[in-house]
Amino acid sequence: MRGELTAKGRATRQRIVEGAAAVLRERGAALATLDDIMARTGTSKGQLFHYFPAGKDELLVAVAQFEADQVLEDQQPHLGCLDSWEAWQQWRDVVIERYEAQGDECPLGSLFFQIGRSTPGTRAIVIELLRQWQESLAAGVRALQAAGLIPADVDADIRAAALLAAIQGGVSILLSTGRSTHLRAALDQGIADLRATSHAAV
C-alpha cells in the first residue's frame, strides 16, 4: 500500500468529484459549500481534505477538469468525423440536445467565475477545452474541403473560431434566458453560411 491510494480510496475520490459536480451544477459554485458536497456524497470533512489536501480550490479544479472532459465526450463520435453535411447536422442535433437538457446549469461557467480569474488552474482547463473543440471543428471544415463539398479557399481556422464563438454565445444566452432560440439560430446560420460558400459568386 505504498501508492497512496487504494482501490477503495480511488472510488471514494471519484464519488466526491462526481457528487461535487452535481452540487455545483445545482447551486452554482458561488453558493455550493463543502457541507453540501459532504451531504450529497456521504463523506466527511476528513475525507474531503484527505483526498484534496489543498481544500476547496483543489476540489473545484478537479471538478472543472471532469466537466471539461464531459463536454467533448458528449459530442462524440460526431465531433470526430465531420466529413459530410449529414455528419454536421447530426453533430448540431447532439449539441442542441445536450445544452437544452442542461438548461440553465453551467458547470464550467460558474466554476470559471468563482475561481477562474484567481486560480490559473481552471483558466488553463477552459483554454485547453476551447482549443481542442476548435481544432475538431477546423478538422471538420477541412474534411468538407477534402470531399470537395466546399471551396479550398475557405479559411478553416477562422470558420472554426466563428463557429465556436457562435456556440458559446448561444449557450450563454441559453443560460441567461432559458431559451435555446439563439443557440439554434447561431448553429444553423453558421452551418448554412458554410454551405453557402459552395455556391457563392465570389
Is 6 or 181 the residue whose CB approaches DNA more closely? 6
The per-residue DSSP string of 134-160 comes to HHHHHHHHHHHHHTTSS-TTS-HHHHH
Hey, how many other C-beta atoms are within 10 angstroms of the C-beta on 155?
A: 11
Nearest distance from residue 161's CB to a second copy, in Å? 4
The 3-state DSSP class for residue 53 equals coil
Window 105-144: residues binding a second copy (CB under 8 A): 106, 109-110, 112-114, 116-118, 123, 126-127, 130
Helices 85-102 and 156-177 cross at an angle (nearest 10°) of: 30
Window 29-58: residues binding a second copy (CB under 8 A): 29-31
Closest CA to 74 of 156, 177, 167, 173: 167
Hey, how many other C-beta atoms are within 10 angstroms of the C-beta on 21?
A: 21
Which option in a second copy, DNA, none does residue 149 bind, with CB closer than 5 to 8 A by kind? none
The residues of the shown chain that bind DNA, judged by CB under 7 A, are 1-2, 4-10, 12, 32-35, 42-47, 49-50, 55-57
Is 6 or 26 the residue whose CB approaches a second copy more closely? 26
Hey, how many other C-beta atoms are within 10 angstroms of the C-beta on 90?
A: 15
Interface residue list for a second copy (CB under 8 A)? 28-31, 104, 106, 109-110, 112-114, 116-118, 123, 126-127, 130, 158-159, 161-162, 164-173, 175-177, 181-183, 185-186, 188-190, 193, 196-197, 199-202
